[in-house]
A and B are shown apart, each in its own frame.
Chain A
Amino acid sequence: MTSPLLDIRNISKAFGAIKASEDVSLTLMKGEIHALIGPNGAGKSTLIKQIAGNLNPDSGSIWFDGRDVTALDTVARARAGLGRTFQISSLAMEMSVLQNAVLGALGKRGQVMRFFRDVMRDAALLEVAHAALAEVGLANVAGTRVADLSHGQRRQLEVAVALTQSPKAFLMDEPMAGLGGEGTARLTPFLDRLRHRAPILLVEHDMDAVFALADRISVLVYGRIIATGTPDMIRQNPDVRAAYLGDEALT
């Protein structure tokens, strides 16, 4: 049995009396899409923050690529290969699409403290940046200011920047948010192909996408994982139905 790429072991985090995460464990295996769902207020964002390194868990540990990364901050985890997209697009708004992508490539390459050469003429960085933009379909707007992009295009750029990192795993926080039918229809097969490059821990509300894409689903309610399994198992799990999906069956 291969070891998981991302192994979250018994994470707990409390804010005063509120237990945002209670003994949460989940794994992400190579080549899979593992979706994390749960009603609002379940503690998904707190969990994401702990996985990404923005918050320290009170107890438990997080292992990535065979290393204990619990003590590492976001920058260190990014360098270790954890790619990330944000629920609310987090981009350098005044810069162009291409500049954001080059920034990603630069972060991957390192050697940021270069002062004299024009970074936007760096062939190696440009190659990585252009490739990522082409993959998500943003090649034709490379020169556009991010602030002038549509919402959907910004979501695409989020993914493109994550691609420039060539990460070992993706942590995606609601990539479909606000995308609408057409955008979702394009992103879904994209993520489907992406899993083979690096597995994805996918937090999503869009149930159609989740059930279409996920190899495994974990359900988070009030800070606890109440079920983990294949989409079919989750669909039929009575606790999940009661807590989240309601009694209407989702096909």
Chain B
Amino acid sequence: MSLILFIEQMLNGVQFGVMLFLMAAGLTLIFGVMGLINLAHGSLYMIGAFAAAWVAGMTGSFLLALIASLAAAAAAGALIELTVIRRLYDRDHLDQVLATFALILIFSEGTRWVFGSFPLFLEIPPYLSGPVTLPGGIDYPLYRLAIIGVGLLVAAGLFALIARTRIGIQIRAGEADREMIAALGVNISALYTLVFALGAALAGLAGALVGAIQSVQIGMGEPVLILAFVVIVIGGIGSIKGALVGAILVGLTDTLGRVLLPVFFAQFMTPQAANSVGSSLASMSIYILMAGVLVMRPSGLFGKA
């Protein structure tokens, strides 16, 4: 397999990873600060994608579509936080899982009711389409590069937010000791709503960005949600750094696995068998990676042990 193909796949893996990071960062923040496991995060991803597709369809502007995705997801996030989620902070994980699963049902069917069962389309805007020639003579889609760029920008922004702003300090303090910051007079309710909406916005943005490459359809969020869980398990709950490292690892493993494993098996199997064995194993590779990390570090790579 040529070097060019390999590098292309590596970039795909990084792009995939960066999108996973947007999901995982929100989830891990929400868990770290509020102690809540949120299954509805996939729905927020979907809402962002649908909002973007709808606005793009109405206005023709991709930029407006992205803004819409952020706004819609953040609004949906804030809404459910105020009505449902805040009743769950003191409950056990089972209750949180069930309630947020109920939200998935409501959101999925609700979206289907509004938009119908057929997928929507979100088009890559002309100024972002087409290939870009990278050093070394590799042609790579500009849009995917843009996604990588946006993702890394968001990562940098998150790190800066957490490390350098007052909100960031409150977040870090909240992760360390929830009761204490309430006692210190920080407005917990507002903080929690903010963190939840922020996580939601990130998910919505990811949904919108990916929606242009894949289709925008009901149920698009849950597979990504589960992958984000894998990322968090690998990276360690509560750690944004872990989410980034885990996400890139998962993205690369999945993408490169799909490409390399059939090639590997073709060394000693018929191409047809190699393909089927290879792609079956590739679909499992991420989970094998997760299992491997768990055996060595049960709290994840950067988790608080």
Q: Do chains A and B touch in the complex (CB under 8 A)?
A: no
Chain A residues within CB distance 8 Å of chain B: none
Chain B residues within CB distance 8 Å of chain A: none
